[in-house]
Amino acid sequence: TENPSFEVNSALLSRCKVFVLEGLSTEDIELLLKRTLTGPRGFPGLEVNIDPKILSAIANYANGDARTALNTLEAAVANCPVKDGKVTVTEKAVEDCISRRSLLYDRNGEEHYNIISALHKSMRNSDPDAAIYWLARMLDGGEDPIYIARRLIEFAGDDVGLADPNAQVMATSCFYACKNMGMPECRYALAETVAYLALAPRSNSIAMAIDQALSDVRNSPAEPVPLHIRNAPTKLMKNLGYGKGYEYAEGTEEKITRMQCLPDSLKDRRYYEPGDRGNEVYYRKKLDAIRDWRAGKREDPPK
């Protein structure tokens, strides 16, 4: 069963009535199993004895899926010896029939996106416990660890940024571990990175800076590169003024100049505005000093 939002054309979907089918509760499944044991169409001609705790365990294992519960019960009964028309279902028989929990997870459908969203938002909310839980759900559901690692790299850039530059390094290292080790070993790298990102200081200043710059690039004329910062590998280019007036910052005592690097139409544009958390506290102070010095508001160059 797939979410019609993903599988049905929107024009057709708008003309349909959509019914949402929820998973059964554990209590509902227990009731179903009890009726199966006592009903005439359950196990005709066979008296099945099963501990209520084992029945509850099967219901819990089914995770809202009645078919899974019934199939598990049927397999467990078939796995136990019959004597005088009676069978006693043991805990071991049930365990032998359960290879792994039937988790609600589909790698290409709604739950795929629901759970990666839960992971992302748990990290954003500084909740490493929830984040690690959702990570475990994805891994146990068979998700590709490379996909998760890519999303962690994205989170490090979008939600942490320069508030903690090491976050990007750690996320990239996690990707390397997932690519070269695979499961189950890479689960440690993923869990470490998820916890680290959840506790890292937050800043989206870099994300806002690059998006604003891209908006200007797409919605404004393509400004020519100022002559003084153009590359001048040939004599002709030098004669045309390429590179003329370039100020080499490393050649100055201050290691910085007042040279304009943006086009004239954008010379006062500000893209990067550091936040007030983590490393950006230092970057904010330094950038303010640089801008004030270039504007002539202070005499001493920033260090």
For the domain that residue 115 is a member of, what is the CATH number?
1.20.272.10
Q: Which helix (H) or strand (E) holds 111?
A: helix 110-124
What does the angle CA 186 – CA 192 – CA 195 come to, to the nearest 5 degrees?
140
Residues 82 and 45 occupy one common structural domain: yes
Q: Which residue in this structure is represented by tokens 């949402």?
A: 20
187-199 helix and 166-181 helix, angle to the nearest 10 degrees:
160
pTM of the predicted model, to two decimals?
0.67
Give the model confidence (pLDDT) of 166-216 as tens digits: 999 999 999 999 999 888 899 999 999 999 999 999 999 999 999 999 999
For residue 100, pLDDT over 60 is answered with no
**Residue range(s) defining the domain that contains residue 124:** 110-199
Give the model confidence (pLDDT) of 210-250 as tens digits: 999 999 999 888 888 888 888 887 888 878 888 888 888 88
For the domain that residue 61 is a member of, what is the CATH number?
1.10.8.60
Q: Alpha-carbon distance 96 to 91, whole Å?
A: 9
Decide which of 206 and 108 is more confident: 206
Instruction: Answer whether residue 270 is part of any domain.
Output: yes
Residue type, 38: T
Give the model confidence (pLDDT) of 59-73 as tens digits: 888 878 888 889 889
Instruction: Answer whether residue 9 is part of any domain.
Output: no
- The DSSP code sequence of 114-126 is HHHHHHHHHHHTT
Instruction: Answer whether residue 185 is part of any domain.
Output: yes
Residues 84 and 154 occupy one common structural domain: no
In the chain, pLDDT over 70 holds for what percent of residues? Answer: 95
Q: What is the model's pLDDT at position 105? A: 54
Instruction: Answer whether residue 207 is part of any domain.
Output: no
Of 66, 97, 128, the last residue of a domain is 97
Residues 74 and 126 occupy one common structural domain: no
Sign of CA dihedral 223, 227, 231, 235: positive
Q: How many domains does the chain have?
A: 3
Min mean pLDDT across 33-42, 267-276, 279-288 is at: 33-42
Q: Assign 108 a pLDDT band (cuts: 50, 70, 90).
A: low
Q: Assign 103 a pLDDT band (cuts: 50, 70, 90).
A: very low
| 8 Å CB contact between 77 and 43 | yes
Instruction: Answer whether residue 160 is part of any domain.
Output: yes
In the chain, pLDDT over 90 holds for what percent of residues? Answer: 41
Instruction: Answer whether residue 181 is part of any domain.
Output: yes
List of residues 6+ apart from 138 with CB closer than 8 A:
105, 115, 116, 119, 148
CB atoms under 10 Å from CB of 139, counted, come to 19
